[in-house]
């Protein structure tokens, strides 16, 4: 059974710092991995999707990497801003099904 | 529509009552998903529709939960004999469907917060 873990559970950084969020999964047979952002009271917004054949994806100040063999992904946020404060979730999609398996998230607070 | 719409945004009910939660997917999206998110947890998969049929309902916790999508667009999640443990945010997502990565990106609604007293 696929399990997804995210560390740390919460993170507080001063504005301008670069930071890394971690995601690990137990079954390396994944189709893709997505990073989402969730703001309080709102739905999830997809940030980056990495196919199983890819090593990384970049969008603006965000860079996500994938090491499928070791079951790990990282989300790197450069030059953090207070507007980046949110919960960040990673989710994996296994090849046999379209459902996403989510981690428990990292609550990020960027202090001005 | 412009995005996935879920109604109501909040629902308070009493233990034992029946509730229906509605999801309007993005127009033209053939795939629709229901997830449940408890406080401090990530979303948990409930059921996935491709068109009108439930392609995977392995996440439904028991037979009190049922979902339909009769015309392949709007979906309703139905919960019978609600229990306090059913309290959570119920999220709906839709995707275009198809083989490419872009067509499989799931777009989420804001959710329905269900509180069972």
Q: What is the pLDDT of residues A24-53, one digit of tens each?
A: 999 999 999 999 999 987 889 999 999 999
pLDDT at position A95 over 70: no
Residue A98 vs residue A102, higher pLDDT = A102
Alpha carbon separation from B23 to A56, B8, B90 (Å, rounded): 33, 9, 10
Which residue reads 């690990």 in tokens? Answer: A24
**Cα dihedral value B96, B98, B101, B105, nearest 10:** 30
Q: How confident is the model at residue B14 (pLDDT cuts 50, 70, 90)?
A: very high
Report yes or no: B51 at the A interface, CB cutoff 8 Å. Answer: no
Q: Write down the pLDDT at residue B103.
A: 76
Q: Write down the pLDDT at residue B97.
A: 79
Q: Write down the pLDDT at residue A34.
A: 94
Chain A closest-CA separation from residue B9 CA (Å): 9
pLDDT digits (tens, 9 = 90+) for B23-62: 999 999 999 999 999 998 999 999 999 999 998 999 999 9
Chain B closest-CA separation from residue A37 CA (Å): 11
Is residue B102 within 8 Å of B110, Cβ to Cβ?
no
Q: Write down the pLDDT at residue B66.
A: 96
Q: Write down the pLDDT at residue A45.
A: 92
Q: How confident is the model at residue B12 (pLDDT cuts 50, 70, 90)?
A: very high
Measured between CA atoms, the residue of chain B closest to residue A38 is: B110
> Tokens at residue B116, please?
């069972």
pLDDT digits (tens, 9 = 90+) for B77-110: 999 999 999 999 999 999 997 767 677 789 999 9
Q: How confident is the model at residue B1 (pLDDT cuts 50, 70, 90)?
A: low
pLDDT digits (tens, 9 = 90+) for A61-93: 999 999 999 999 999 999 999 999 999 999 999
How many interchain CB pairs under 8 A, A with B?
64
Which residue reads 């309080």 in tokens? Answer: A40
């Amino acid at each position: 059974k696929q399990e997804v873990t995210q560390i740390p559970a919460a993170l507080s950084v001063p504005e301008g710092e670069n930071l890394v969020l971690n995601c690990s999964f137990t079954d390396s047979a994944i189709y893709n991995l997505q990073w989402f952002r969730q703001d309080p009271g709102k739905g999830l917004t997809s940030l980056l999707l990495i196919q199983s054949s890819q090593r990384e994806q970049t969008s603006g100040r965000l860079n996500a990497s994938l090491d499928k063999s070791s079951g790990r992904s990282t989300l790197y946020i450069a030059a953090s801003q207070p507007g980046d404060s949110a919960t960040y979730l990673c989710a994996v999609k296994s090849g046999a099904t379209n459902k996403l398996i989510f981690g428990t998230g990292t609550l990020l607070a960027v202090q001005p | 529509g412009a995005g996935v719409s879920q109604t109501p945004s909040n629902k308070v009910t009493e233990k034992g009552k029946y509730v229906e939660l509605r999801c309007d997917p993005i127009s033209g999206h053939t795939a629709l998903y229901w997830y449940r998110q408890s406080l401090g947890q990530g979303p948990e998969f409930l059921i996935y529709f491709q068109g009108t049929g439930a392609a995977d309902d392995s996440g439904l916790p028991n037979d009190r939960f049922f979902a339909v999508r009769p015309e392949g667009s709007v979906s309703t999640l139905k919960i019978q004999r609600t229990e306090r443990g059913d309290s959570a945010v119920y999220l709906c997502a839709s995707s275009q469907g198809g083989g490419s990565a872009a067509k499989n990106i799931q777009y989420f609604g804001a959710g329905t917060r269900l509180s069972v007293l």
